[in-house]
Amino acid sequence: MHRFLVRLVINAVALWLTTLVVAGIHVNAYPPAGLLETVLTYLLVAFIFGIVNSVVGNAIRVVAFPLYILTLGLVALLVNGLLLLIVHWASGLIGFGLVVDGFWWGVLGAIVLGFIGWVLGIVTRPLTRSEHRRNRR
């Protein structure tokens, strides 16, 4: 459970930093858009992204596996951009959340989000690894 919460916070922070870097991606917070509402919105969008990535993303990766081989993995950029658009659509159903201004903004956002998430994952690895070691004993 601890590892899940750490990953959720990492993804929320990575999403927040991505919105600061990529002009075509932003998050509309739940009104009245105070600090608490904004933080909870980022956590909710990160949760939705995790669900979309694990369910839809894995299904797409299985079906598109030959394309991954043929393009040496470059199709992953397009798939990840598509996943951000799906999160945009899903969070739009609840009236707030992630806004992606177009497919190519989604691809750029996916690249930046992946890089920032990777860096934050490396920095926070001792937090998740210590729990894993405790559970193995």
CA 77 to CA 15: how far, in whole Å? 17
Residue with tokens 């004993």: 137
Give the pLDDT band (50/70/90) at residue 25.
Answer: very high
pLDDT digits (tens, 9 = 90+) for 28-45: 988 887 899 899 999 999
What stretches of the chain show up as alpha helix (H) in DSSP? 2-21, 35-52, 58-63, 65-70, 75-93, 103-123, 125-136
CA 14 to CA 19: how far, in whole Å? 9
Chain-centre distance for alpha carbon 59: 17
pLDDT digits (tens, 9 = 90+) for 71-125: 888 898 899 999 999 999 999 898 889 999 999 999 999 999 999 999 998 998 8
